[in-house]
Amino acid sequence: MSTRSTHSPKGSIAAGHQLTAEAGADMLRNGGNAIDAAIAALAMSCVCEPVLASPGGGGFAMLRNAGSGKTTLLDFFPQTPRQKRDRPAEGFHSITADFGSATQVFHIGPATVATPGFLAGLSALHRQGGTLPFADLFSPAIVAARTGHVVTDYQHYLSTVVRPILTATEAARALFAPTGDLPVAGSVFRNPGLGDMYEELAKKDWLQTGIAGQILKEQELGGYLTQDDLTGYRMEPRAPLSFKVGAATVHLNPPPAAGGALIRYALMHLEGRGRTAFAGALEAADCARLSARGDLQSLLDRLVRQQGTTHISTVDAEGNACSVTVSNGTGNGEIVGGYGFMLNNILGEEDVNPHGSADWPTDQRLASMMCPALIDMPGERLIALGSGGSSRIRSAVFQVVARLCLDETALEDAVRASRLHVEDGHLDLELPGADADISTLTDRFADHRLWPEKNMFFGGVHAVSTDSQGTFSGIGDARREGAAVIVA
């Protein structure tokens, strides 16, 4: 879905669900700015995109302050616990997710939980420039959680993939499968506990509510988190990875996240135009990832490829912008008290724990593929974009940025264009809109898979833009049921 307006709009937002986008748009209508819109949208995403977003996870936000012109990256990604314990196998078990054409093993349980940063991130975002009170920002999410929302086809599909996680415990089954099975598309899903949580958060900091105590109670059965982990967690502001691409300046997620570095590497090694050139640049970046040579070494240590991610992009008429990507992994199967959300399973990621249930560094912010981005285009045009999609985040963002900055492609066309992904010598290629370079690509990559239709596998880039003339545009990627709203 895409929109465009030149009639004195207040701002624009694009996200992974219509309700997520509408929650942010409501803040813009009520006098809020882009940061307010992002906070409201993040709260709503946990309600209507529960497989992808949760207060038990974390993420990254790229901000532009209109007053100062400063661009800042806020890192509120989960942190590894400060200490390990004996008998690490306790609280750690495996399930198999069914994607239809393939299956994948995930690790869940209390021992897979890293210190969540989502709630600290909401507070940090508000301190960075939010203007509306939390009671207003959380109001749409509270209403939707208590009265219910209609389950979409995409959200139903995601829930069926991770059914073993959503039904892993009695509390999880009571929330996500109260009738014995997961809600079908078109049915109404309610989560009043999450509404109660937001009502508490509107009045006091999350560490002063009952949330922290319930997290620690869930961790008693084999988890690692302590009170010190929760109270000691800090959001980390970072200078963005900024560089020129053509006449534009691109701002990406810096270290210790790795997504931005790999996207920059691909852009710097892009020779020519078109999909063959894109494949070559992505192959070069993937080879660098595999060999971890040069300055990529530190970025690629314990790189986390989040399986469940969603993205929100907002801009306003004053020139503020927020591009934010969040993840809960796939969830650990445990519900936090009566608060209606699941904790992350970041410590259960194979990339974090290649040799066992406790093979992770203590008290460390892990590297991530997530990469919210801002682009300063010629003519004082500002673009905010990002994507979900695990390891495909880097290829999705790379291709959209290259089309925008080097080919001067329209925002909507750059997002809708067919994509490819190169990893471990394997090529995945969307066929819709393909041209004569298909044979060249398949000859170059003997190990390949052709996708007859555009697919969520290739990420979901949700993007918005504004310029000095007051023109706003936005697009939510149809691959992941994205939506965009312009507020006039």
Distance CA 362, CA 232 (A): 13
Between β-strands 367-368 and 303-304, what pairing exists: parallel, antiparallel or unpaired?
A: parallel
User: DSSP secondary structure string, 107-131?
Assistant: EESGGGPPBP-HHHHHHHHHHTT--
CA dist list (Å): 441 to 279, 284, 289, 474: 8, 15, 21, 31
Catalytic residue among 20, 115, 309, 466: 309
The two three-digit tokens of residue 183, written as one number: 């809600």
Contact between 339 and 221 (Cβ < 8 Å): no
Strand partners, 464: 384, 474
Host H or E run for residue 453: none
Q: HSE of 334 in the Cβ direction (CA atoms, 13 Å)?
A: 28
Sheet-wide strand order for 373-377: 2-5, 472-475, 460-466, 381-388, 373-377, 248-252, 241-245
Within 8 A by CB and 6+ apart from 262, the residues are: 285, 288, 289, 296, 299, 369, 394
Structural contact between residues 314 and 38, judged by C-beta atoms closer than 8 angstroms: yes
Instruction: Read off the tokens for 141.
Output: 């999410």
The residue whose two tokens read 């806020």 is: 74
Spatial contact of 129 and 320, defined as CB atoms under 8 Å apart:
yes
DSSP letter for 263, please: H
For residues 346 and 338, is the Cβ–Cβ distance under 8 A?
no
Instruction: Give the torsion sign (CA, 123, 127, 128, 130).
Output: positive
- Dmax over CA atoms of the chain, in Å, equals 63
Q: How far apart are CA 37 and CA 24, in angstroms?
A: 4
Neighbours of 170 (CB within 10 A): 9
In whole angstroms, what separates CA 297 from the centre of its chain?
24
Specify whether 325 is catalytic.
Answer: no
Residues annotated as part of the active site: 309
